[in-house]
Amino acid sequence: MLSQPKKKTRRQLHNTPFRQYFNLLSDIDKGQRYSHEYGSVLILSLVEEVGEMARAYLAEHGRKKLNLAAQHDETYEQELGDLLLTILRIARIKNINLDERLMYSLEKVKKRKLKPKE
Protein backbone atom coordinates (compact mmCIF):
# COMPACT_ATOMS: atom_id res chain seq x y z
CA MET A 1 0.00 0.00 0.00
CA LEU A 2 1.26 3.49 -0.80
CA SER A 3 2.02 5.64 2.18
CA GLN A 4 0.40 9.02 2.59
CA PRO A 5 3.02 11.73 3.09
CA LYS A 6 2.69 14.13 5.99
CA LYS A 7 1.33 17.58 5.26
CA LYS A 8 4.15 20.02 4.69
CA THR A 9 4.52 23.56 5.91
CA ARG A 10 4.36 26.51 3.56
CA ARG A 11 8.16 26.85 3.68
CA GLN A 12 8.57 23.18 2.69
CA LEU A 13 6.07 23.60 -0.15
CA HIS A 14 8.24 26.33 -1.59
CA ASN A 15 11.17 23.90 -1.81
CA THR A 16 9.56 21.82 -4.55
CA PRO A 17 9.80 21.94 -8.35
CA PHE A 18 6.73 24.22 -8.18
CA ARG A 19 8.54 26.89 -6.11
CA GLN A 20 8.88 29.39 -8.96
CA TYR A 21 5.17 29.17 -9.79
CA PHE A 22 4.13 29.55 -6.16
CA ASN A 23 6.37 32.61 -5.79
CA LEU A 24 4.83 34.24 -8.85
CA LEU A 25 1.34 33.45 -7.55
CA SER A 26 2.21 35.08 -4.21
CA ASP A 27 2.40 38.42 -6.00
CA ILE A 28 -0.52 37.83 -8.36
CA ASP A 29 -2.98 36.59 -5.72
CA LYS A 30 -1.90 38.93 -2.92
CA GLY A 31 -4.73 39.39 -0.44
CA GLN A 32 -7.17 36.98 -2.15
CA ARG A 33 -5.90 33.57 -1.31
CA TYR A 34 -6.92 33.46 2.33
CA SER A 35 -10.61 34.20 1.87
CA HIS A 36 -13.12 31.35 2.00
CA GLU A 37 -14.71 32.76 -1.14
CA TYR A 38 -11.47 32.43 -3.11
CA GLY A 39 -11.39 28.62 -2.69
CA SER A 40 -14.94 28.38 -4.02
CA VAL A 41 -14.06 30.60 -6.97
CA LEU A 42 -11.06 28.40 -7.77
CA ILE A 43 -13.15 25.21 -7.77
CA LEU A 44 -15.62 26.84 -10.18
CA SER A 45 -12.68 28.08 -12.30
CA LEU A 46 -11.30 24.56 -12.46
CA VAL A 47 -14.57 23.23 -13.86
CA GLU A 48 -14.78 26.15 -16.30
CA GLU A 49 -11.22 25.62 -17.55
CA VAL A 50 -11.81 21.89 -18.10
CA GLY A 51 -14.86 22.76 -20.18
CA GLU A 52 -12.97 25.39 -22.20
CA MET A 53 -10.09 23.02 -22.85
CA ALA A 54 -12.46 20.25 -23.96
CA ARG A 55 -14.38 22.62 -26.22
CA ALA A 56 -11.17 23.91 -27.87
CA TYR A 57 -9.79 20.39 -28.27
CA LEU A 58 -12.97 19.07 -29.83
CA ALA A 59 -13.22 22.06 -32.16
CA GLU A 60 -9.62 21.61 -33.33
CA HIS A 61 -10.01 17.89 -33.89
CA GLY A 62 -13.21 18.08 -35.91
CA ARG A 63 -15.61 16.84 -33.26
CA LYS A 64 -17.47 20.14 -33.07
CA LYS A 65 -17.01 21.71 -36.48
CA LEU A 66 -19.98 24.02 -36.07
CA ASN A 67 -18.71 25.55 -32.83
CA LEU A 68 -17.20 28.74 -34.28
CA ALA A 69 -16.73 30.32 -30.86
CA ALA A 70 -14.46 27.49 -29.76
CA GLN A 71 -12.46 27.70 -32.96
CA HIS A 72 -11.77 31.42 -32.39
CA ASP A 73 -10.99 31.17 -28.67
CA GLU A 74 -7.72 30.02 -27.21
CA THR A 75 -6.23 26.70 -28.29
CA TYR A 76 -6.59 23.67 -26.07
CA GLU A 77 -2.87 23.95 -25.25
CA GLN A 78 -3.47 27.47 -23.91
CA GLU A 79 -6.53 26.29 -22.03
CA LEU A 80 -4.47 23.48 -20.50
CA GLY A 81 -2.09 26.16 -19.17
CA ASP A 82 -5.06 27.95 -17.59
CA LEU A 83 -6.17 24.66 -16.06
CA LEU A 84 -2.73 24.01 -14.59
CA LEU A 85 -2.61 27.51 -13.16
CA THR A 86 -5.92 26.94 -11.39
CA ILE A 87 -4.63 23.64 -9.99
CA LEU A 88 -1.51 25.42 -8.72
CA ARG A 89 -3.64 28.06 -7.03
CA ILE A 90 -5.78 25.44 -5.28
CA ALA A 91 -2.69 23.54 -4.14
CA ARG A 92 -1.13 26.72 -2.87
CA ILE A 93 -4.05 27.89 -0.75
CA LYS A 94 -4.61 24.37 0.64
CA ASN A 95 -0.86 23.77 1.28
CA ILE A 96 -0.78 20.69 -0.93
CA ASN A 97 2.64 19.52 -2.03
CA LEU A 98 2.02 18.84 -5.72
CA ASP A 99 5.37 17.17 -6.18
CA GLU A 100 4.44 14.55 -3.57
CA ARG A 101 0.90 14.18 -4.93
CA LEU A 102 2.19 13.63 -8.47
CA MET A 103 4.74 11.07 -7.32
CA TYR A 104 2.05 9.28 -5.30
CA SER A 105 -0.28 9.16 -8.32
CA LEU A 106 2.52 8.02 -10.65
CA GLU A 107 3.37 5.17 -8.28
CA LYS A 108 -0.30 4.21 -8.09
CA VAL A 109 -0.58 4.08 -11.90
CA LYS A 110 2.68 2.16 -12.14
CA LYS A 111 1.46 -0.46 -9.66
CA ARG A 112 -1.83 -0.85 -11.54
CA LYS A 113 0.05 -1.39 -14.78
CA LEU A 114 2.31 -4.01 -13.22
CA LYS A 115 -0.52 -5.75 -11.41
CA PRO A 116 -3.92 -5.08 -13.03
CA LYS A 117 -7.10 -5.89 -11.14
CA GLU A 118 -8.68 -9.16 -12.17
**Environment class of 47 (CB within 10 Å of its CB; exposed 0-12, middle 13-18, buried 19+):** exposed
| CA–CA separation, 118 and 114 (whole Å) | 12
Sign of the Cα pseudo-torsion (52, 53, 55, 59, in order): positive
pTM: 0.70
pLDDT for the residue 54: 85
pLDDT for the residue 117: 78
pLDDT tens digits, the chain, 118 residues: what are they? 555 555 555 555 557 778 888 888 888 887 765 667 888 888 999 999 998 888 888 887 776 665 555 556 678 888 889 999 999 988 888 888 899 999 999 999 999 988 887 7
